[in-house]
Structure 1
Amino acid sequence: MMAKLDQKDRDDLSARQFAFQEQRKEPIEDAKHVRNAIARFNQVKGVSDKERDEAWKRILAAAKKFDVEVTEKSWREIGRD
């Protein structure tokens, strides 16, 4: 089941609660959203590799905080078998 936020809840989140803070993309405020951010990571458009690197670090920190297992060491590994 996909984690959902209505627009008001999304607007109430601080930029720090998003993987891509400047764009306010991929919220990471709980375990469901962290898993969703990982699953949708490669679907985010209009960001640089540097922004992806920074977002990945935020996702890993949130994953640790919410006890979400992440098998990929880099965002470049997402979707590889």
Structure 2
Amino acid sequence: MSVNRFLSATMVAALNLLKERGVDNKHVKVISAVAAPPALQKLSEQFPGLHVYTGIIDPEVHEKGFIIPGLGDAGDRSFGTDS
């Protein structure tokens, strides 16, 4: 399973739109309730200088990359952007 699966497609799409419009990663703040280490690592690699604030880091994810127990990829499921 690709580490990309650990990232919300919605978040990455939004960050890419900002990047395309010339917004520097250092000026972007991402706030999340829960995050997993693989996603934080990938965000750091894809968007150097990005500020990420999270309420808690949950270390356990299952084979599809959803935090367990947890919300899974609630944003992607809610907005139909699950890939």
Same-fold call, TM cutoff 0.5: no
Calculate the TM-score normalised by the size of structure 1. Answer: 0.34
The structure with more radius of gyration: 2
Identify the structure with the greater helix proportion: 1
Answer 1 or 2: higher relative contact order, Cα 8 Å, separation at least 6: 2
Calculate the TM-score normalised by the size of structure 2. Answer: 0.33
